[in-house]
Amino acid sequence: MIRRLFTILGLVIFITCLTFASEKETESVKIDEQVKDWSLKDTEDKLHSLKKLGEEKKAILLIFLATQCPVVDDYIVRINALNKEYKERDVQIVGVHSNKHEKIEEIKKYKEKHELAFTILKDTDNVLADYFNARRTPEVFLIDSKKILRYRGAIDDSRQDPKTQYLRSNLDLVLEGRTIPDKQKKTRAIGCLIKRVRKTDIDRTP
């Protein structure tokens, strides 16, 4: 009887540990939560951290990009315009490439071709994509000066003829120190799915 109780207790502890490990592996940040510090290398093999990127900045804007996504191509001019305008207002824009098949040289060529004048990071193992639960390109994540995630989703409401500027409206509110209304904190991003690295035997990501 005692042996059976110890066996059951051992199984409970084992399952609890597995559950805890699983939760740690799938940790992600949610709207209005503080973003933990992280670091990734850029296309020149230089390491960048959230802490360093955000120094003396009023906001950080992460944009998940892809070299072979027609939707990203449609937004490139608008993304460059955002960088030019908001750089002068102390906003740090950072491009993130998380697709498993994209090589550094390919990302470099894409950056040069489209004259992207902001930091571009390579998310080799989808660490950042998983943490932010990013699914598509382009998808944006707005972080304020206190490292709180304030908005996630689309840049605007149309890849061709936008009528509503989701990102600009929320950026302006954050820079003015105002609160983003709950209904504006998250929108549905349109674009290409991020191709992830298969991490376990049960991961069916293509």
**57 pLDDT higher than 50:** yes
Q: How far is the C-alpha of 46 from the C-alpha of 158, rounded, in Å? A: 34
Lowest-pLDDT range, 93-102, 126-135, 197-206?
Answer: 197-206
- State the DSSP string of 92-143: EEEEEE--TT--HHHHHHHHHHTT--SEEEE-TTSHHHHHHT--EESEEEEE
- State the DSSP string of 57-97: -SEEEEEEE-TT-HHHHHHHHHHHHHHHHHHTTTEEEEEEE
pLDDT at 198: 79
What is the dotted CATH code of the domain comprising 29-193? 3.40.30.10
Q: What is the pLDDT of residues 82-119, one digit of tens each?
A: 999 999 999 999 999 999 999 999 999 999 999 999 99
